[in-house]
Amino acid sequence: MRSYLQEDEDNKIILALDSTSISSYSTRLTHIEYGKNKDDDALPQLDVLFLVDQKSGLPIFYRFYDGNVPDVSTIRHTIADQALLNMQNVVLVADKGYNSGKNINDCLINKVEFIFNVRLGTKGCLARELIDEHRKEFADLNSGDPYIRKNLATAKVNWKYDPRPVDGKPASNSATAELYYHMFYDPVIYQEAANKLTESLLTIKKKLIEEEALTEQEEELKEKFFRNDKEKGLVIVNRRVDEYLKYKGFRVLVTDSEKDPVKAWTAYADRWRVEDAFATLKDRLGCNRIRCSDNKALQGKTFVQFIATGLSLMVRSRIRSYMKENKKAGKLNLVYESDSKILQVLNNVMQTRFN
């Protein structure tokens, strides 16, 4: 297994971890359940988890779960499977949904390094507190990095956890680990969010003056950001707008191993590899629907599609590397072509052998 993976400069294998939902018209399959459908389909689905080597783009492991199993519950199973694969020096990179305290504890207990994107939507969360503590740094232009074009700050946190939980539940927090919370601020993203909200609120205000009907989404914004004033009538509450925009433009990555915020950001940005794997699986290979009603057929079809996804990404990765290294290969611009177009071009390649 390790011979197929590519290490970074620190001799670590960076693996993107994520899952996607695949809908089904059948209700007879064991793993098909109603739950959070990431494609907003009103259908039952199963969740397919991928581990993708971020350097080569090659998916090396997959597993599917019931459609109602949340993302936070899949880390423990993934770590157990990884132990069976005997993979060492691995760093898991994951998006929001995987950064729960239980998942961080599981990674620390099992010596699995991680870089998790932190969800900022919860009031009172630690990441929000750290952002508030470092707001002066973000206001300083000198905190901006010229390569990733973000203002950044880092906070060290002593994380307490139980190294030997009983039945998955901590009995005591007798162990500590040093975690790095890397915070990034992009004023452009903040301004875009502010402009979008301002435009929506002013549109609502205009419709109310002209007595036009509001859409369902506009009604929600009205309830959230407007109030009745005795003298002025319906007015925008600036305090609510400020609270809504307070953490826009921020991203926080938590890690137990990467001290350099720019390297952490780069590793997270390279997660597009796993997104490309999902796009290949669902769009290019037409697996956005599982068109089978038998469990054995489901297992076989999912496995074949996983192999096909790997082959497709290997070919695309080779083409991308070739185009990057060979500047004169402009005529063979296949990086953004469809799979069928690539196969059509490659089908004309012939090999002649002589004795």
> Does residue 257 form part of some domain?
no
> Does residue 165 form part of some domain?
no
211 lies in the same domain as 287: no
Q: Looking at residue 281, what DSSP letter applies?
A: I
Q: How far is CA 81 from the centre of its chain?
A: 21
The string of pLDDT tens digits covering residues 146-192 is: 888 999 999 999 999 888 877 666 677 788 999 999 999 999 999 99
> Does residue 173 form part of some domain?
no
The dihedral formed by the CA atoms of 189, 192, 196 and 198, expressed in degrees to the nearest 10: 110
The string of pLDDT tens digits covering residues 100-159 is: 888 888 888 888 889 999 988 777 789 999 999 999 999 888 889 988 899 999 999 999
Please give the pLDDT value at position 280: 78
Separation in Å, CA 59 to CA 27, 62, 112, 197, 352? 28, 8, 19, 39, 33
Query: Two tokens at 270?
Result: 């390279």
Taking the C-alpha atoms of residue 327 and residue 321, their distance in angstroms, rounded to an integer, is: 11
234 lies in the same domain as 295: no
Please give the pLDDT value at position 90: 82
281 lies in the same domain as 238: no
Last residue of a domain, one of 210, 245, 280: 245
277 lies in the same domain as 240: no
Contact 118/171 with Cβ under 8 angstroms? no
Separation in Å, CA 82 to CA 45, 275, 303? 25, 21, 18
Taking the C-alpha atoms of residue 253 and residue 126, their distance in angstroms, rounded to an integer, is: 12
2 lies in the same domain as 89: yes
Last residue of a domain, one of 230, 245, 260: 245
Q: With H, G, I as helix, E, B as strand and everything else as coil, classify residue 78.
A: helix
> Does residue 131 form part of some domain?
no
Identify which of 52, 48, 47, 51 has the alpha carbon closest to the alpha carbon of residue 68. Answer: 47
CATH of the domain at 276: 3.30.420
> Does residue 1 form part of some domain?
yes
280 lies in the same domain as 226: no
> Does residue 169 form part of some domain?
no
Separation in Å, CA 317 to CA 54, 55, 229, 257? 11, 9, 60, 28
Contacts from 161-168 at CB under 8 Å and sequence distance 24+?
161/104, 161/105, 161/108, 161/109, 162/105, 163/108, 163/109, 165/105, 165/109, 168/76, 168/102
236 lies in the same domain as 282: no
2 lies in the same domain as 69: yes
List, for the chain, all residue ranges whose pLDDT scores fall below the cut of 70.
1-10, 37-39, 67-77, 79-88, 167-170, 326-340
Q: With H, G, I as helix, E, B as strand and everything else as coil, classify residue 169.
A: strand
Q: With H, G, I as helix, E, B as strand and everything else as coil, classify residue 341.
A: helix
9 lies in the same domain as 81: yes
Taking the C-alpha atoms of residue 343 and residue 107, their distance in angstroms, rounded to an integer, is: 41
Give the chain's length: 355
236: containing domain:
189-245
Taking the C-alpha atoms of residue 331 and residue 162, their distance in angstroms, rounded to an integer, is: 58
Count of domains for the chain: 2
Taking the C-alpha atoms of residue 251 and residue 227, their distance in angstroms, rounded to an integer, is: 31
> Does residue 106 form part of some domain?
no
11 lies in the same domain as 82: yes
Q: With H, G, I as helix, E, B as strand and everything else as coil, classify residue 136.
A: helix
State which H helix or E strand residue 181 sits in: strand 175-185
> Does residue 354 form part of some domain?
no
Please give the pLDDT value at position 135: 92
241 lies in the same domain as 306: no
